[in-house]
Structure formats: C-alpha cells, structure tokens
Amino acid sequence: MNVQIHTVYLSLGSNKGDRRKNLNLAVEQISNRIGSVVSQSDFFVTEPVGFKSTHLFYNIAIGIETTHTAADILEITQQIEKELGRKRKSVNGVYHDRVIDIDILLYDDCIINTPELQIPHPRMKERRFVLEPLAQIAPTLIIPHETKTIAELLSDIC
C-alpha cells in the first residue's frame, strides 16, 4: 500500500491564559493526532487584529507531515481548540479573545474552496502575524497561484 505524506503549514495563536503553554499543548496534540511536527517558529508577540483587546497574542507557525486529508485536519484541529478551552469560533469577521486558534494555511500545493475550508488561507497574505512566523520556517515557500515567496510577501507588508 502506498501512503502519501502531505506537507501542511498551520498558524497558531493564543491571547488568553498562559499563552505559551496553550500553544505548546496545541502543538503536542497536533503531533500526537495529526502528524510529525517538522518545523516550528519562535513565539511572536502581536497585537490583536480585527478587534480591540488588552491581551496581546503569542503566534507561531508549524510545518507538519501527515497522512491525513485537509478535511480530517480541520476536524481534528477544531476538536483540539475545543478541548483546550475555545468557546466559540469567529464568525463573519467578528473576532474575540481566545485560548487557542489553529488555522490551516497550506496543504501541499492544493487549492481547496469549500464552505468549511479555504486553502490557501484566504487572509494569510495580509497578516503579518501569520507571515512572520511562517517566513521563519519556510521563507522560500510559494503559495499556490502566487509568484512571491513567503519572505517576499512579508517584506511587502512591512
């Protein structure tokens, strides 16, 4: 049987509670349930985007290798968010403080556009808190249908 290994990049953020611990627990669960974490950025401290809060975010990016489908990863990451204490998802651009947020940025060089899942993540090119950690672990990566690397996209918004 031929098992296909997929390369996936995730963005993780936390601005409630012990942010570093929340991110470390999420990475541990991802490693246990989704696949091997092959790269992890440093922790980046960032301002909330899209809402006002006195709580700063810690953000990281991770690269994983997995046999799971993108839909499986979405389901598992949402379970992890819930288990770690996330009460509600952001809806229609209304954001809130959160214990953990896990977004799928890229899944191989696939383009997925369903009501539940959009890959590449539709707003990743506009978000420094996504691009900066991702550029640390995958600076030469090119998003499908783009011509610039992650490092170049980050440079464009700085």
pLDDT tens-digit series, residues 105-138: 999 999 999 999 999 999 999 999 999 999 999 9
C-alpha–C-alpha distance, residues 63 and 93, integer Å: 26
Query: Residue 150's pLDDT is what?
Result: 96
1 inside domain: no
**Nearest-10 crossing angle of helices 70-83, 19-33:** 140
71 inside domain: yes
100 inside domain: yes
C-alpha–C-alpha distance, residues 5 and 66, integer Å: 5
Overall size of the chain counted in residues: 158
- With a cut of 80, say whether residue 90 has pLDDT above it: no
The domain in which residue 49 lies consists of 6-157
* Active centre residues (catalytic): 86, 98, 101, 103
C-alpha–C-alpha distance, residues 109 and 32, integer Å: 24
Model pTM score:
0.92
CATH number at residue 136: 3.30.70.560
Query: Residue 113's pLDDT is what?
Result: 95
Number of domains in the chain: 1
41 inside domain: yes
Query: Residue 95's pLDDT is what?
Result: 59
pLDDT digits (tens, 9 = 90+) for 28-87: 999 999 999 999 999 999 988 877 888 899 999 999 999 999 999 999 999 999 999 877
Query: Residue 127's pLDDT is what?
Result: 92
